[in-house]
Amino acid sequence: MIDRIKIAETYKTIQDEICQALEQLDGSATFEEEVWEREGGGGGRTRIIQNGNIFEKGGVNFSAVHGKLSEQIKKSFGVDEDEFFATGVSIVIHPNNPFVPIIHMNIRYFELNEQIRWFGGGIDLTPHYVLEEDAQFFHQQLKNVCDANHPDFYKDFKKWADDYFYVRHREETRGIGGIFYDKLTPEKTGLSYEDIFIFSCELGRSFTPTYTELVNRNRNKVYSDSNKNWQYLRRGRYVEFNLVWDSGTKFGLETNGRIESILMSLPPQANWAYDFHPEEGSEEAKTLSLLKKDINWIN
C-alpha cells in the first residue's frame, strides 16, 4: 500500500538521481540547492544549474506541500474539501547550444483524501531546430515506457500532450510534444494506485538516458550567431506558453507557491522580434512547419 510519505521520498530519490546524472553530463557546472518552507505547509528543494558546458540554465525541483486550497482551485477541481497534499519533481533544462533541445519533465501526486487522489505528469521536448531522427528516438523512448505499463498510454497521452502544449495564440505547438497526463486514478486506467505510481517512477527514471542521448548527439555541433538568435526567439515562445497557458504555473501561483521555484522554468535570455518570418526553405522555416499537432514521429 503506497502513501504520501513513500511517494514523496521516492520522488526525492529521483531528484537526486537526475541531478547527479546531469552534473556528470555537463562536466563542469554543479547544482546549487535551496531548501525552502512554504508558509501554508510543507516545502521543497530547489536545485539550479547554470553557466555550464552544456546547460545555460536548468532546474530540478522537488516539493511536498500541504494546506488549504483557494476557492478558485476548489471550483476548478470540482471539490468541496480544501485540505490538500501535493508532491512532485519538476525539471526544465535550457542548453547553450541551439541544436540541443529544451526538455521539460514533471511527475506529481495530488491528494485531498483517500477517495480523491491522483497522479499527473509527462515529458515533452522543445527543440530550437526540429531534427526528425531525434524526434523519432524521443517518442520511441516514451512509447517503450508507456507500453510496459498500459497499451493505451502512449496513444492517449501523446494526443494529450499535443493538445496541452499548444500555443493557441500562435497556432503552433511548443515543440514536438511527448506525453502528458493528469488525474490518473484506478477508475480511469484499470490500474491500481501502486501500478500508476510505478509508471510515474519509471517515466521519471527514463529522463536521464533519453536526454543524455539527445545531448550527446548534438552537443558538439558548431553554431552561428544566426542560430543563436533563432534560439532566443524560440525561447520567447516557450516563455509565452508557460506564463499564459501552463496550468502548473497557475496552480503554483494560486496556492501561494514559491515564486522562484515556479518561475525557474524561464530561460536566462529570450528575445521577441516584431512580425519575424524565417527565410523560405531555411532550417528555421522547416522547424516551424513541424510545430503541429498529431504528427506520427514513430515510423
What pLDDT digit, counting tens, does each position of 148-187 carry?
Answer: 999 999 999 999 999 999 999 999 999 999 999 999 999 9
Q: Residue 246: its pLDDT value, please?
A: 84
Q: At what angle do helices 132-147 and 153-164 cross, to 10 degrees?
A: 130
User: Strand, coil or helix: what is 33?
Assistant: strand
CA 79, 84, 89, 92 dihedral sign is positive
Q: Residue 286: its pLDDT value, please?
A: 97
Q: Say whether 104 is catalytic.
A: yes
Rounded CA-CA distance 204/107 in Å is 7
What are the C-alpha distances in Å from 299 to residues 102, 136, 205, 243, 251? 23, 8, 25, 34, 37
CB atoms within 10 A of CB 53: 13
Q: Residue 250: its pLDDT value, please?
A: 80
Per-residue buried b or exposed e for 217-249, using 16+ beta carbons within 10 Å of the residue's own CB = ebbeeebeeebeebbbbbbbbbebbbeebbebb
* CA terminus-to-terminus distance, the chain: 39
Q: Residue 193: its pLDDT value, please?
A: 96
Q: What angle do CA 157, 162, 166 make, to 5 degrees?
A: 140
- What are the structural domains of the chain? 4-289 (3.40.1500.10)
The residue assigned the cell 490518473 is 184
DSSP class of 263: G
CB atoms within 10 A of CB 278: 15
- Nearest Cα residue to 179 out of 148, 234, 140, 216: 140
Under 8 Å between Cβ of 45 and 64: no
What pLDDT digit, counting tens, does each position of 233-250 carry?
Answer: 999 999 999 999 888 788
Q: What is the DSSP string of 223-260?
A: --HHHHHHHHHHHHHHHHHHHHT-HHHHHHHHTT--HH
The burial class, CB within 10 Å (0-12 / 13-18 / 19+), for 33 is exposed
Q: Residue 299: its pLDDT value, please?
A: 73
In this prediction, the residues of the chain whose per-residue pLDDT falls under 70 are 1, 76-78, 80-81
Under 8 Å between Cβ of 43 and 64: yes
Q: Residue 254: its pLDDT value, please?
A: 76
- Listed in sequence order, the residues at least 6 apart from 154 whose beta carbon sits closer than 8 Å to its beta carbon are 142, 143, 146, 147, 179
Q: Residue 159: its pLDDT value, please?
A: 98
DSSP class of 215: H
Under 8 Å between Cβ of 19 and 47: yes
Rounded CA-CA distance 298/165 in Å is 19
Rounded CA-CA distance 279/281 in Å is 6
Say what the pTM is: 0.93
User: Strand, coil or helix: what is 173?
Assistant: strand
What pLDDT digit, counting tens, does each position of 185-203 carry?
Answer: 999 999 999 999 999 999 9
Question: Which of these is catalytic: 66, 94, 104, 128?
Answer: 104
